[in-house]
């Protein structure tokens, strides 16, 4: 989406003329057993880091990425890169998450959406299964937010990092951050779920099923076994178009698209597709080039199944969190509305955690958690002290 | 949807033990020319009325129906009917829209969704085209909210009704009500758009395109020419399921569906469909039995193209309204959010109309404009004085 890239660019240019240069690294786990008892061997994920790990390894902050995101949270790979990482406005030297003080680490999740981005390293249905020398396809096991966290834990263990000054993530990244604090209460000192929630409600989970639907209905999806025939582009692009809309508030969405009222063809022919729709789809098609349809289905499922602790009682699981906590939903978020963060905070407070709450202003809805993150930079910086 | 029916039933039972009995009537126009210059011959629509037209025909109130609705706004056809008309809570003897005083008339729109409901009379793509003796299919012209209003106008002309005490309608009915007041400012004394808007924004119009998508992608849709082969049930049911969700607020939606977290199959098999999703689809499939897929596409288009006056400048068109006006959006509406009503009111006020504004409380979102209408009964009754 050109305008999003342009916006991200504006933010990063405004904040830093001399970008942090970063390199992608690879972490390999020879064997990983999922929460549901399946084995994946090997698991590879990409990661990057900003800042320097101190001698007692006590200054690490983990950043966990959103649904369509990757480990590229800050900096650029090359000075001439068009855009920096998605949270470059708050991660870097002297920024809210100050890389002069902190060692900030960010990793790609399992089943990352952007599996065909050369800068993303992930393991999922599009990965070659060593047992068959073909992509896993739907033979890849269902993975959960808990699995994402366990792979990150193995990465941090490999680096000898035993404690995290903070875990911070937007959207699906907030799910991972919360799960870290629930599973490893003694390892997580601060928890900052941005545009997030400690659980997925039915309404949002069904919305996500609506993202999956165009892929599942595309004849080119072939029951998930399309790797030698080409992707279900129509279904994938449509899914990505829906994600774009659902992540935006009407105030941010409306001005970007052609008005229906002046779209003359719509009056004359019921078969005519709205210009605004075609525009949205064309943007989505560009993004689809780096993505895999099955990976979207797995991310949908992982998100649908999310609740803190991954068990029968997310409220009780939240009670295990020892971290100092700050929830930061976006005021205009229609995808994971502030009510979900508010409910999460109340449950934590009832369990004795003095969780704090703030809102990110803006007109982009859910996306304000990425595009508008600089508006809460000082809150984040204070929270990390 | 059983629980909705049950809810509607609760309301009507609470309000009246002795229901108004009503009969459907038919209005025929031998020939109708659409806004876009196409001819439909003949046009038939159903209508019903509650109360008695006074001798100078000055006590008529027109009710215009919502997207999935029909002319059955109040009363029952038989005392043993399970549910009364959708606004029975406010239409009837001694109710907010008092049929002891007013002659309340309600008509089916063109391309009504429920074309296979024996109590609905409409003309649309599923209607037999006398020229071919086959259903029109997509040869049926694109119709607009303006066309809906012109057919209603012909009906009222046929009854000798020259002035309306009020035009009142929810959702898509609000579009028709506003268009009445714009086109015939001297005929409409009061305008009451409920859960409505004087225009469709891009965000909502794209949402509606997402209702159309499952129909358009269903192979059984056959380019709209399916009448001798059977409906695209999968696409139609999915569209109706989306409509149900989009018309509800999470607070009203969540408790009605099975929790994802305890849906064990979802953890084990990526192919498993969520129980909540299946439940939503099963309810939609029941409603689909009375509906036609092409009619949904035409209603989507009519709604997408909506703006007051149907021209290039809806703000200017609103300036023509002479009616005393009250907008009543629902506080939790996510389909046509209060912001749309607020914007409409501001534009009218800027043009010198002292339009009033109120909100319908509740947890059902858009549907509070139907299910929760009794909460604003006294406001409506005062407004009609």
Among this protein's residues, is B65 annotated catalytic? no
ipTM for this model? 0.93
Among this protein's residues, is B366 annotated catalytic? yes
| Total domains, chain A | 1
Please give the backbone phi and psi of residue A7, each rounded to the nearest 5 degrees, phi first: -65, -45
Instruction: Tell me which of A203, A251, A364 to substitute to probe the interface with B (most B C-beta atoms closer than 10 Å).
Output: A203
- CATH of residue A179's domain is 3.40.50.1820
Instruction: Give domain status of residue B19, yes or no.
Output: yes
CB nearest to A297's CB, from B140, B262, B270: B270
Instruction: Give domain status of residue B232, yes or no.
Output: no
3-state per-residue secondary structure call for A323-369: CEEEEECECCCCCCCHHHHHHHHHHHHHCCCCCEECCECCCCHHHHH
pLDDT mean for each 10 residues of chain B (385 residues): 45 55 97 97 98 98 98 97 97 98 98 98 98 97 98 98 98 98 98 98 97 98 96 98 98 93 92 97 98 98 98 96 98 98 98 97 98 98 97
Confidence (pLDDT) at A18: 66
Beta bridge partners of A63: A106, A168
Whether the CB of B13 is below 8 Å from some CB of chain A: the reply is no
Would you call A270 helix, strand, or coil by DSSP? coil
CA distance B372 to B364: 8
CB contact under 8 A, A245 and B207: yes
CB nearest to A205's CB, from B224, B274, B298: B274
Q: What is the DSSP string of B301-339?
A: HHHHT-BGGGSS-HHHHHTT--SEEEEB-BTT-SSS-HH
Beta bridge partners of A332: none
CB contact under 8 A, B305 and A337: no
CB contacts of B339 in chain A (<8 Å) are 250
Whether the CB of B265 is below 8 Å from some CB of chain A: the reply is no
User: Positive or negative, the Cα torsion across A196, A202, A205, A207?
Assistant: negative
CB contact under 8 A, A277 and B206: yes
CB contact under 8 A, A266 and B301: yes
3-state per-residue secondary structure call for B135-186: ECHHHCCCCCHHHHHHHHHHHHHHCCCCCECEEEEECHHHHHHHHHHHHCCC
For residue B248, give the nearest of A239, A207, A365, A346 by alpha carbon: A207
Instruction: Give domain status of residue B156, yes or no.
Output: yes
Please answer whether residues A66 and A169 qualify as being in contact, where contact means their C-beta atoms are separated by less than 8 angstroms.
yes
In sequence order, which residues have a C-beta less than 8 Å from that of residue A120 and are 6 or more positions away?
A46, A70, A71, A108, A112, A114, A290
CA distance B287 to B137: 21
Among this protein's residues, is B12 annotated catalytic? no
Instruction: Give domain status of residue B298, yes or no.
Output: no
CB contact under 8 A, A203 and B242: no
Confidence (pLDDT) at A262: 81
Q: Give me A55's structure tokens.
A: 């001698």
CB contacts of A142 in chain B (<8 Å) are 266-270
Whether the CB of B313 is below 8 Å from some CB of chain A: the reply is no
| Domain encompassing residue A321 | 2-199+307-383
From the CA of B298, how many Å to the nearest CA of chain A? 7
Confidence (pLDDT) at B17: 53
Please give the backbone phi and psi of residue B247, each rounded to the nearest 5 degrees, phi first: -85, -5
Integer-rounded Cα radius of gyration of chain B = 20
Instruction: Give domain status of residue B18, yes or no.
Output: yes
Instruction: Give domain status of residue B244, yes or no.
Output: no
CA distance B5 to B84: 10
For residue B181, give the nearest of B358, B343, B319 by alpha carbon: B319
Instruction: Give domain status of residue B365, yes or no.
Output: yes
From the CA of A42, how many Å to the nearest CA of chain B? 20
CB contact under 8 A, A142 and B267: yes
Q: Is A2 exposed, middle or buried (0-12, 13-18, 19+ CB in 10 A)?
A: exposed
CB contact under 8 A, B142 and A204: no
Q: Which residues of chain A have pLDDT under 50?
A: 1-3, 5-16
CB nearest to A242's CB, from B140, B210, B217: B210
Q: What is the DSSP string of A300-317?
A: HHHHHT-BGGGSS-HHHH
Instruction: Give domain status of residue A192, yes or no.
Output: yes
């Amino acid at each position: 989406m050109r305008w999003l890239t342009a916006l991200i660019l504006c933010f990063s240019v405004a904040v830093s003329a001399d970008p942090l240069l970063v390199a992608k690294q690879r972490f390999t786990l020879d064997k990983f057993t999922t929460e549901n008892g399946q084995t994946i061997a090997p698991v590879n994920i990409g990661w990057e880091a900003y800042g320097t790990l101190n001698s007692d390894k006590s200054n690490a902050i983990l950043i966990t990425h959103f649904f369509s995101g990757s480990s590229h949270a800050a900096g650029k790979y090359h000075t001439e890169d068009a855009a920096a990482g998605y949270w470059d406005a708050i991660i870097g030297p002297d920024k809210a998450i100050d890389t002069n003080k902190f060692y900030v680490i960010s990793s790609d999740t399992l089943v990352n959406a952007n599996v065909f981005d050369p800068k993303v390293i992930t393991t999922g249905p599009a990965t070659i299964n060593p047992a068959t020398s073909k992509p896993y396809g739907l033979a890849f096991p269902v993975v959960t937010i808990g699995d994402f966290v366990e792979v990150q834990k193995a990465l941090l263990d490999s680096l000898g990092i035993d404690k995290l000054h903070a875990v911070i993530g937007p959207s699906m990244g907030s799910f991972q951050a919360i799960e870290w604090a629930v599973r490893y209460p003694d390892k997580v000192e601060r928890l900052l779920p941005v545009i997030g929630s400690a659980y997925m409600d039915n309404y949002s989970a069904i919305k996500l099923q609506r993202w999956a639907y165009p892929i599942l209905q595309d004849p080119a999806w072939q029951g998930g076994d399309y790797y030698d025939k080409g992707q279900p582009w129509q279904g994938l692009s449509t899914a990505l178009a829906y994600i774009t809309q659902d992540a935006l508030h009407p105030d941010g969405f409306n001005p970007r698209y052609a008005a229906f009222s002046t779209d003359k063809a719509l009056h004359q022919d019921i078969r005519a597709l709205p210009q605004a729709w075609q525009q949205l789809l064309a943007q989505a098609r560009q993004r689809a080039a780096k993505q895999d349809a099955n990976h979207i289905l797995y991310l949908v499922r992982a998100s649908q199944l999310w609740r803190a602790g991954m068990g029968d009682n997310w409220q009780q699981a939240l009670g295990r969190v020892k971290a100092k906590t700050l929830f930061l939903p976006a005021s205009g978020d229609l995808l994971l509305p502030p009510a979900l963060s508010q409910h999460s905070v109340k449950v934590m407070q009832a369990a004795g955690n003095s969780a704090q709450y703030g809102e990110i202003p803006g007109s982009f809805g859910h996306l304000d958690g990425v595009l508008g993150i600089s508006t809460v930079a000082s809150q984040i910086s204070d929270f990390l002290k």
